[in-house]
Amino acid sequence: MGLNDPQWGNKNSGGPPDLEEVMRNINKKIQSMFGGSGGGSSNQSGGTAGGGLGGAGLIVVIVALIWIGSGFYIVDASQRGVVLRFGKQVEVTEAGPRWHLPYPIETVEVVNLSQVRTVEVGYRENVKNKMLKESLMLTDDENIIDIQFAVQYFLKDPGEYLFNNRSPDENVRQSAETAIREVVGRSKMDFVLYEGREQVAAATTKLMQDILDKYKSGIVVSKVTMQNAQPPEQVQAAFDDAVKAGQDRERQKNEGQAYANDVVPKAKGAAARLMQEADGYKQSVIANAEGDASRFKQILVEYEKAPSVTRERMYIDMMQQILTSSSKVLIDQKTGNGSLLYLPLDKLIQSTNPTPLSESVPVTQAAKVAEQGLAPISEFAQPRTTGLGRDREAR
Amino acid sequence: MNQKMKNVLVGTIVALILVGMSAFVVDQRQTAIVFQLGEVVRVETTPGLKFKVPLVQNVRYFDSRILTFDAAEPERFITAEKKNVLVDSFVKWRIFDVKQYYISVGGDEARAQTRLMQTVNSAMREEFGKLTIHDVVSGKRDALMKVVQEKTDGDARKIGVEVLDVRLKRVDFPVEISDSVYRRMEAERKRVANELRATGNAESEKIRADADRQRQVILAQAYRDAQKIKGEGDARASALYAGAFGRNSEFYAFYRSLDAYKQTFKNKSDVMVLDPSSSFFKYLKSSNKGGGK
């Protein structure tokens, strides 16, 4: 056995750096032991054959130190350490460097407590990657809908989490599946699809928590997030169409409203125009009447001063005005000798009609037509009489 | 002295070996049965350091945690209205009486689960037969799970197992029925869509008709008011005329006639055939006083 060889101890002095302190102690002890065997003073063994026993003691000490050192562990801020003494939970340690009685007396299990964990139900990683087996479910009105959601949870009690269930994380998925189906099964399809998503998520969270608490799983469900709630692909088109129909309805209503907004103001405008026109008519009629009445009254005053003269004058004025502006034929019936006077009235009218204000009108052979002025009339003062048996005044 | 040391050393080693052989650890997650030559002598239900007689006694460990039995394939059940449904469920169970458990199923989890599955399925079959699909999916789901759990638990205790919970996951229709459900859903949506479009149309028509009515009423009322105003004007005018012309009705007739003649003969197309003997032309014939008549 070369155990008491000084080289052995020296070789060990370059041991693991994390045990520096320990090694220094060991070195000190080695030196004091060798000093003891050389100088005759030993505080360790004190035996006469100290060399052999001292070597064995040294090993024991080293082994013991390593053994004790194996009880050190570090708990991160997000973690908790659960210490088991002979398999029984004795304490839960907080963050920091910790030490437990070394194996086999105590063991430690470090659990990540505050980290938020996620379980996806109805899909994996991407919402498009559906798990139809998980996502399809029946509603209260016996329709089938397709739901994808994620559950976020964390641990509240590391002891419960570790010791009460064989597969605690699987519990979350199972409770999620059963809870959502129970909640959806109680709800109508439209509620789940449209207005009730939040309520469904909240009810699922609560139910899941009840189930997980029943299993004492040490898990807290923080949130159920609905990724997607929709009708199955087979009927998607019909649902889209129904949504479109809703839009169509709105559109039609708006179109109707647009028509109304066009027609009613226009009618109001037309009504206002009618009123204005009526008012205008009224004003004008009254004004005309006033004018006419006033004019008549004024003339009347003068007429009453000299009735016969005024009357004659007015008559002649009128005749002049009439004869000036109209075509006329002057026939002297006294010279009539019974011969027939041919008067082509239709031609006269025809010739004047197209150009009512024209200066010259062709003169027929049978009758001369004077256009205007009194001068021409004098020409016809003695018209050629071809004989017309009757005295005629035509209008 | 040296001999004494050796004795101590040997004694210690022997003691350690003996302790190692007789001590055993029951974990927080376990329970243990101590057997003595095949006979159950003790059940250790609490965790910690335990001792047994070396060599003659041995220990078997069992899981004390809650275990899950989750069938891989959904089971087919028939409801009260003779409809098929596929049901997926899971069972939460725990070894409750280790000794009984060991005796009944030999501590074999698979055997215990088979037994559980049979019990659960038969209990479910019975319950489903009493309920309609609607009950299962919605109304009586909770009650059904409770009943099945109680029934299964009662039976499971015979094999030392406690059934904590039986829960339904999927309750689905088989593919054939699913298809008809889809068709029904489609028809239903179509109905909703048609209804929406029809009501939209109706509402639009209503709005338009209302607008048309308003227009008609507005125009008619405006016409009425306009006529009233015009009538007022006419009345006013008549009164004025009557007031003025009534002063000398004979002169008015003359005056008005003259005006009417002027209005009547003002175009070239009005042809007058005149006799120069009329009084108007009396000076045309002669300048004598009294005319040529």
How crowded is residue A311: how many other Cβ atoms within 10 Å of its Cβ? 15
Last residue of a domain, one of B31, B48, B63: B63
Instruction: Mark yes or no for CB contact A353/B181 under 8 Å.
Output: no
Question: What mean pLDDT, rounded, does chain B reach?
Answer: 87
User: pTM of the predicted model, to two decimals?
Assistant: 0.64
Q: What is the ipTM of this complex?
A: 0.71
CB contact under 8 A, A166 and B241: no
User: Between the CA of residue A393 and those of A59, A128, A328, B280, B291, what are the distances in Å?
Assistant: 167, 107, 10, 13, 19
The pLDDT, as a whole number, for residue A30 is 57
Domain shared by B27 and B84, yes or no = no
Is B226 an 8 Å CB contact of chain A?
A: yes
B165 touches chain A (CB under 8 A): yes
Report how many Cβ contacts below 8 Å link chain A to chain B: 358
Residue A361 near residue A351, CB atoms below 8 Å: yes
Measured in angstroms, the CA of A14 and the nearest CA of chain B are apart by 31
**Percentage of chain B surpassing pLDDT 70?**
98
Q: Does B288 touch chain A (CB under 8 A)?
A: no
The parent domain of residue B223 ranges over 187-230
Q: Which two tokens stand for residue A175?
A: 């409770």
Residue A95 or residue A328, greater confidence: A95
Q: Measuring CA to CA, which residue among B206, B227, B211, B223 is closest to residue A265?
A: B211
Q: What residue has token string 């239903």?
A: B188
Residue B65 near chain A (CB below 8 Å) = yes
Q: Of chain B residues 139-158, which have a CB less than 8 A from chain A?
A: 141-142
**B208 is a domain residue:** yes
Look at residue B263 and tell me if it is in a domain.
Answer: no
Q: Which of residues 102-131 of B touch A (CB under 8 A)?
A: none
Between A272 and A126, whose confidence is greater?
Answer: A272
Three-state secondary structure call for residue A304: helix
Cβ A392–B25 below 8 Å, yes or no? no
Cis before A104? omega within 30 = yes
Does B72 share its domain with B100?
yes
Its CATH architecture, for the domain A117-231, is 2-Layer Sandwich (3.30)
Question: Between vectors from CA B123 to CA B118 and to CA B125, what angle results, nearest 5°?
Answer: 95
- B275 inside domain: no
- Whether B185 contacts chain A with CB within 8 A: yes
B76 has a pLDDT exceeding 50: yes
**How many CA atoms lie within 13 Å of B231's alpha carbon, on the beta-carbon side?**
6
> Would you place residue A8 in the very low, low, confident or very high pLDDT band (cuts 50, 70, 90)?
very low
* A248·B197 Cβ contact <8 A: yes
Asked whether residue B167 falls in the same domain as residue B134, the answer is yes
Please determine, for residue A13, whether its predicted confidence score (pLDDT) is greater than 80: no
| The pair of three-digit structure tokens given for residue B280, joined into one six-digit string | 């108007």
CATH code for the domain of B82:
3.30.479.30
Which residues 82-101 in chain B show a CB within 8 A of chain A? 90, 92
Number of H helices and E strands in chain B, helices first, is 8, 10
Confidence class for position A260, pLDDT limits 50, 70, 90? very high
Tell me the β-bridge partners of A92: A82
What distance in Å separates the CA atoms of residue B109 and residue B101, rounded to the nearest whole number? Answer: 10
Quick one: B82 and B133 in the same domain? yes
**Residue linked to tokens 């175009």:** B267
Q: Do the chains contact at B265 and A334, CB–CB below 8 Å?
A: no
Compute the distance between CA of residue A224 and CA of residue A222 in angstroms, rounded to an integer: 7
DSSP A139: -
- Considering only CB atoms, which chain A residues are within 8 Å of B222? 270-272, 274-275
Query: Is the distance from CB of A218 to CB of A165 less than 8 angstroms?
Result: no
Taken as a whole, chain A contains a residue count of 395
Whole-number Å distance between alpha carbons of B35 and B55: 11
CB-based contact, B232 to chain A, within 8 Å: yes
From the candidates B3, B66, B263, which should be mutated to test the interface with A, based on the most A CB atoms within 10 A?
B66
Bridge partners of residue B30, in order along the sequence:
B63
A283: CB partners within 8 A, 6+ apart: B233
Q: Are residues B151 and B202 in the same domain?
A: no
Is the CB of A318 less than 8 angstroms away from the CB of B262? Answer: yes
Distance from CA of A23 to the nearest CA of B (A): 27
Pairing of strands B84-95, B161-172: antiparallel
Segment B222-278, tens digit of pLDDT: 999 999 999 999 999 999 888 888 888 888 888 888 888 888 887 777 777 777 777
Q: How many C-alpha atoms does A299 have within 13 Å on its Cβ side?
A: 19
Q: What is the pLDDT of residue A333?
A: 63
Q: Please, are residues B184 and A231 in contact by the beta-carbon 8 Å criterion?
A: no
Q: How far apart are the C-alpha atoms of B120 and B161, rounded to whole Å?
A: 13
Task: Tell me whether B233 touches chain A (CB under 8 Å).
Answer: yes
Identity of the highest mean pLDDT range in A30-39, A323-332, B195-204: B195-204
Two tokens at A204?
A: 């699922």
Q: Are B275 and A332 in contact (CB under 8 A)?
A: yes
What residues does each domain of chain A span? 6-69, 73-112, 117-231, 233-305, 323-379
User: Do residues A386 and A342 lie in contact, with contact meaning Cβ atoms separated by under 8 Å?
Assistant: yes
What does the buried/exposed string (b/e) look like for B49-63 if buried means 16 or more CB atoms within 10 Å of the residue's CB?
Answer: ebebeeeebeeebbe
**What's the structural domain count of chain B?**
3
- Lookup result for tokens 């060889």: A5
Q: What is the rounded distance in angstroms from the CA atom of residue A180 to the CA atom of residue A177?
A: 6
CB contact under 8 A, B70 and A85: no
CB B156 within 8 A of CB B117: no
Give a yes or no: residue B257 inside a domain: no
Say what the pLDDT of residue A37 is.
44
Q: Is B287's Cβ below 8 Å from some Cβ in A?
A: no
* Residues B71, B138 within the same domain: yes
